[in-house]
């Protein structure tokens, strides 16, 4: 090896050192527990009105799959629901709507408790969530966030306690249903704010569609931070 080759090799090693902790924490196991989720829960329905429910099944890597959903009601004298998930209010009272699937011998169920009223029922077009992000690498990443779903869009706001290392190479933010993978995740975009309050507006996304925020070291394809959406 020539002196010039040695200098070039040494330079490359030194250049890579800041990223070793990022590379060293790659995730291989992307298994998650399968689940079913009601996409559009409501507070209630006025008598004679109806509501078209929908549900999503997420498989063992957090990806949606098309499966048969069985809809049911805890009290058909108060509210009925057909095979397509359309609930119709019959009489005053409270009931629970259930979405059930049978997959690989296991039964999964999601529920929505509602009130049937003779008066108009306000089902807000806005809903909220929150959470805390934390680092999963040697790089600093912390802070709390809130989400507000409004008319099909999602406002993702980070609070003033947010802080991320600007040394992270190619840092991107994703919404995902798998805490260990961005396969099938929604890419929000490259991170350009590293401290303080800021907001993302994500179009055509509902609050119930994703369960995690993921911070991803895109050049090396590894996770460096996460936050569970409550």
**Does the pLDDT at position 7 exceed 50?**
no
Q: What is the pTM of this model?
A: 0.78
Q: Can you read off the two tokens belonging to residue 93?
A: 């009272």
Q: What is the mean pLDDT of residues 172-184?
A: 95
* Residue 17 CB contacts under 8 Å (≥ 6 apart), including other chains: none
Q: What is the mean pLDDT of residues 83-90?
A: 98
**115-131 confidence digits (pLDDT tens):** 999 999 988 655 689 99
Cβ atoms within 10 Å of 226's Cβ, excluding its own: 21
Give the separation between CA 55 and CA 45, rounded to whole angstroms.
18
Fold for 35-117, please state it.
Immunoglobulin-like (2.60.40)
Q: What is the mean pLDDT of residues 72-84?
A: 98
Element (H, E) at 182: none
Q: What does the domain layout of the chain look like in residue ranges? A: 35-117, 125-228
């Amino acid at each position: 090896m020539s002196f010039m080759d040695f200098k070039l090799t040494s330079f490359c090693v030194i250049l890579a050192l800041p990223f070793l902790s990022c590379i060293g924490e790659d995730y291989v196991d992307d298994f998650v527990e399968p689940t079913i989720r009601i996409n559009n829960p409501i507070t209630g329905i006025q008598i004679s009105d109806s509501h078209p429910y929908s549900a999503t099944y997420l498989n063992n890597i957090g990806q949606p799959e098309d499966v048969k959903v069985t809809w049911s009601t805890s009290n058909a004298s108060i509210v009925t629901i057909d095979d397509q998930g359309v609930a119709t209010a019959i009489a005053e009272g409270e009931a629970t709507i259930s979405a059930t699937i049978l997959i690989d011998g296991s039964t999964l169920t999601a529920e929505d408790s509602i009130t049937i009223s003779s008066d108009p029922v306000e089902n807000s077009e806005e809903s909220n969530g929150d959470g805390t992000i934390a680092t999963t690498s040697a790089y600093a990443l912390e802070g709390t966030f809130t989400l507000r779903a409004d008319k099909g869009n999602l406002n993702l706001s980070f609070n003033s306690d947010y802080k991320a290392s600007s040394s992270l190479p190619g840092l991107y933010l994703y919404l995902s249903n798998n805490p260990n993978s961005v396969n099938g995740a929604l890419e929000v975009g490259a991170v350009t704010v590293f401290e303080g309050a800021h907001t993302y507006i994500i179009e055509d996304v509902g609050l119930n569609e994703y369960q995690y925020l993921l911070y991803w070291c895109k050049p090396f394809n590894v996770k460096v931070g996460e936050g569970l959406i409550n």
